[in-house]
Each structure stands twice: as C-alpha cells, then as structure tokens.
Structure 1
Amino acid sequence: MQPNLYHVLGAKQFSRAELDDLFEASKRMEEVVRAGGNRSHEGRIMTTLFFEASTRTRLSFESAMSRLGGSVIGTENAAQFSSAIKGETLEDTIRIVTGYSDVIVIRHTDIGAAKRAAAVAGVPVINAGDGAGEHPTQALLDAYTIQKEMSRIDGVRIAMVGDLAYGRTVHSLSYILANYKDVMIYYISPDNVRIPSSVKRYMEERGVRYEETTDLNAVAGSIDVLYQTRIQKERFPSLEEYEKASGQYIVDEELLSRMQKNAIVMHPLPRAGEITEGVDSDPRAAYFRQAQNGLYIRMALIDKCLKGV
C-alpha cells in the first residue's frame, strides 16, 4: 500500500478500534444527510466500475459521494460497456481510470479482483464485492446496523442462514464479528452450501464460538439477529446443485412468532422469496433500515479514503 493511500479491500483489515471510529464517523454522516449534505469533497471524482449487477451498493456509493459534494463517473455494466469486452486486462483498466479519479469503487465477478486493482492503482480502491469472496462494505453496514438496533455487538447471538458457501456477505460479516467479545454464530445452511472451512478456521483462531446446523427452528427462539441470505442461483456450478439448496429456509410470520420480541431480521438484499412480505410490517424487520445504513457507512469510508486515513 502506498503511503497515505487508504484502500478498503477486506473485512479482516479492520480492528475493533477502527470499527468504533468508523461507526462514530457514520453517525456524523447521518447528521450530514439530515442537513442536506455538505461540500467537503467538492471537485473530487469517484469512479464506479461494476462488472457485476448491483442496485443498493452502486446507488448508495453514488449517493454517498454526491452528498459529500463530489461527482461520479463510471459504468454499471463494465463487463459489456468498458474496454474489458475488447480484451483489456483489469490492471490496465485501473491504470487508465486512476488518471480520471480520486477514488475507485469496484465490483467484480472474480475473487481477489479488488486487491489486483489496488496493486496498480494510484488512488484508493474500495471493494464493492468480488465474486464469492468478500463484500467488506456490506459487512461494515451490517455490523453498524446490529450496533444501532441492539445497542451492542458484544455478546450477540446471530444465525446466518442460507447460502453460506457463495455468500460473500456472510464471510465478511464473520470476519468483522471476530473483533467482538462473546459472540455466538449459528451457521445454518443446506449441506451443499455450508460455510467454507477457511472462514471456520479464522473464527477458531480468533476464539469465536460457532455451531453448524441445518435446523433454524431449533435456534430461532434464542438468537438476537437472524441474518437471512439469498440462495444465489448465479454462483452455482449447476442447476441441480442450486435446486438442492433452494427454498429450504423461509422467514415468515410463523417463524417470527418463535423469535424474541427484541430480536431483528436482517438481509443483505435482494430477497428472492426467502423472507415473505408479511414480515415487512413487523418492527423486527430491519433489512430496509439496514440498506439505509449503507449510505452512512459508505459516506464515512469515502471520506476516510479521500483523506488518506
């Protein structure tokens, strides 16, 4: 990493102190939004390079930069509407875009793409998701949501449900939660999309308690957070494997009735039937508030990247 160049590449890079600082900065950004934004980064340019489809992540980054007074250039389908379609390497694309930008936000289909980008970039790079690898800014907003909703993260009991093999949000959130005390994680999934051994090893090294199970009902009444994820059809090697995993876990009003009154339901979105619309009106449904928190976290991250801290 170049001196004074701050990249956001993976969840493991954050310490507890840095998380506390980021969450305080995000609270201040909530005030900035309520005040109508500011001009703190007027004249700065953010480039968004999205080689993979996105709604919340791309638009929240673009909104974040706009609310800080900066401007945005980029493409929402870089795989088709950039020189990548002509055979240009990712590294060459980044070298060129560096000359146009003050910060680059990249989402890519390949694991490790953001690190490759940062290795050649002359400006900060933010990883907005790299294949089935990581999604650090989602994990940060997820942790910020837990902090806001529960008034704590230490001691939280969380069930991560669904596609845990390809679900990069689950991987990154696990790494973030390893910074906190007395956390208990239940990894709940079909057998063919279990949490990767690399994630489990990291949690064991950090002394984080976890349990693998296929039974959501067994733990529903004891958890503080239910973190539901979509079974990601686009990441499976075959339709047969996808169908083995699909539809096994549905959060509905019956499941809610088994949960604690102060528990919350989260989802990185988009959902595809794994949370019924009947859940939306329950105050424990935190997923739309969670998405809104992404704006504040990304404002804080952009601010830090542009300041080089």
Structure 2
Amino acid sequence: MLRHLIEPGDFSKEDYEILFGLADRIVENPEKFGNVCNGKLLASLFFEPSTRTRLSFESAMYRLGGNVVGFADAKVSSTAKGESLTDTLRTVENYCDIAAMRHPKEGAALLCSKKMTKMPIINAGDGGHQHPTQTLTDLMTIRHYKGKFENLTIGLCGDLMFGRTIHSLMRQMARYDGVNFVFISPEELKMPRQFKDEIDSSRYTETDDLKTAIKDLDILYMSRVQRERFVSEEEYLRLKDFFILDNDKMKNAREDMIVLHPLPRVNEIATEVDSDKRAVYFEQAKFGMYIRMALIMFLLGLEA
C-alpha cells in the first residue's frame, strides 16, 4: 500500500517505534545500510529555500546507496512557466521512486499526495503548517536523551504563531500521556487557537517570561522569529529579539533539561550556550539524517 508522510498524525505510535528502532540500527552500523537503496531515486523538490532539511534528505539517500535528482529553487521548475504543481509531481513520479517536497503553501504536499499512484511523498515543510520530518528528528532526539516520551514538560519558545516545527511537535507529543506544554512567546506570536483547541486546557500554560518558566521544564524547544513570515519588516525587527536564551537564563534550568532547536539559529540562542552540555541542537541535526534514512526505507518497504 502506498503511504505518504504529510503530517505527524499519518503514522501511529507503533510506526514511530519501528522507525526509531530502524534508525538506532543505522546509527550502530551505518555500513550495513550502504546499498539498501541501490538503483532508487529520490526527487528533492524544494520550492522554498532550505539548507539543513534538503541536505539531510540528500545525504540520507546517498548514504543508503541511492541517488538524488531535483532542484533547490522554484524558479528552475516548470511551475515557473505556469505548470500546475500536481502536473509537475505526476511527471516526476515517472522518473523517481520517492519524493521529498518543500513548498511555501500550506496543503501543497497533501494535494500532490492525492494524485500519486506509486511514488511516496514526504512533506519537507509546507508554509507555516507542518514539518513532520523535523518532528521525527525532534522525537528521536528526545528519545535519545530522555529515554521516553511520557510525563514530560516541554517549553515551546519564540515564534509559536508561524512555527511549523513547533506545531508539528506539539501535535505529536500531545499523543503521549502526562505531557504538558508551556507556551512562551510575545503576545503577537502566541500559539494559534486552532492548535490549543486540540489539547485539554489543563495541559498547557502561556507566558512571556522565559527566565521564570525555564525552571520547570524537561525540554526547552527554541525557535527563531522568521523574517519570511512577516509582511512588515518593522514588525519583524520589533519582535525578533524578544527572547534570547543565554547563560544567565540557563542557570535557572534543571541539570537534566535539554535545549532543542530546529535551526537555523539567528540570535535567539547566544553562542555562549553552545558549550553547555544541555544544548543538544547540533546533535539533533545529526539525528535528522539518520531518521530520514529510516523513513526512506520505511516508505519504500526496504530492509537491510
């Protein structure tokens, strides 16, 4: 059966455990998986700029022994000539075995997935909506450092209005028992009502005080204020420095708290924090490649 990953809810908890188990085996013995995707092609379709996600997908496919075709700029695709997005994907399906697609419009990946007959679609980010493979990366990191998903308090800090990584992680972690959230943001960038309505109000609190909130957290998930999501440059400049995590704030945090960030970082985490053992965001990026290797294998039905 053809399966896609468009949003975190497309996979069950059991699916996630299969993926994490496979990713663990890849980490332990990457050479064993070096030819799993021999003869397979990944379509890397990035209609919106990306560094980490695109290179992570491409590195994952190459490390599995497959190859990659695609583009990193919508201007070089035929959509720039007026071709519909679904026509582009239906054409690519004739050439490739699996596709990772980023698009600035919400719902683009879902729309294309409904037209596919043989090529799995992986949503690599659709506007401010979803980013499920970043969620997989985040979950693998949490699993590695915390050993569980249940009974955790997670602080989500920064741009909660437009942060698709934030929205995806919240939705997935809400599926686990005993998980509570602290939404830390300026008033203008609060978590949208539609996402808060998905969980019981007893499971979250809201604040604009990072320094105070940090003491109760098991996990602090930082995010940047994204310039590209603002219509007004003046509004962006006013809000971008609202929260900066530094050593002074880290003094209030638990010794076993971990700091995650989907990257790229601008200045919301001071570089002085990088040397803190609780700052695991660069390790998090490495886990992203391994979990994407597992995801490609999973959707293609491949085994080592």
TM-score (norm 1): 0.94
Alignment of 1:82-231 (within 5 A): 82-122=77-117, 123-204=119-200, 209-231=203-225
Deviation at 1:52, TM superposition (A): 0.8
Deviation at 1:243, TM superposition (A): 2.9
Deviation at 1:31, TM superposition (A): 2.4
Cα-Cα RMSD: 1.5
Q: What CA distance in whole angstroms lies between the structure 2 residues aligned with 1:216 and 1:253? A: 13
Asked if residue 238 in structure 1 is aligned to residue 235 in structure 2, the reply is no
Deviation at 1:208, TM superposition (A): 7.2
The AA in structure 2 aligned to 1:96 is T
SS of 1:249's partner is coil
Q: What CA distance in whole angstroms lies between the structure 1 residues aligned with 2:234 and 2:135? A: 30
Deviation at 1:295, TM superposition (A): 0.8
What is the total number of aligned residue pairs between the two structures? 302
Corresponding position of 2:2: 5
Percent identity reads 43
Please tell me whether the aligned partners of residues 140 and 176 of structure 1 are also in contact (alpha carbons under 8 angstroms): no
TM-score (norm 2): 0.96
Structure 1 range deviating more: 37-46 or 293-302: 37-46
Q: 2:18 aligns with which of 18, 21, 38?
A: 21
Q: What CA distance in whole angstroms lies between the structure 1 residues aligned with 2:131 and 2:20? A: 17
Corresponding position of 2:28: 31
The AA in structure 2 aligned to 1:6 is R
Corresponding position of 1:304: 298
- Where does structure 2 lack aligned partners over 5 or more consecutive residues? none
Q: What CA distance in whole angstroms lies between the structure 1 residues aligned with 2:292 and 2:29? A: 13
Please tell me whether the aligned partners of residues 36 and 67 of structure 1 are also in contact (alpha carbons under 8 angstroms): no
The AA in structure 2 aligned to 1:61 is F
Where in structure 1 do 4 or more consecutive aligned residues deviate above 6 Å?
none
Deviation at 1:15, TM superposition (A): 2.2
- Where does structure 1 lack aligned partners over 5 or more consecutive residues? none
Q: What CA distance in whole angstroms lies between the structure 2 residues aligned with 1:283 and 1:214? A: 25
SS of 2:199's partner is helix
Over residues 134-177 of structure 1, what are the superposed CA-to-partner deviations in whole Å (9 max), with x where a residue is unaligned? 00000111011011011122111110000011100000001110
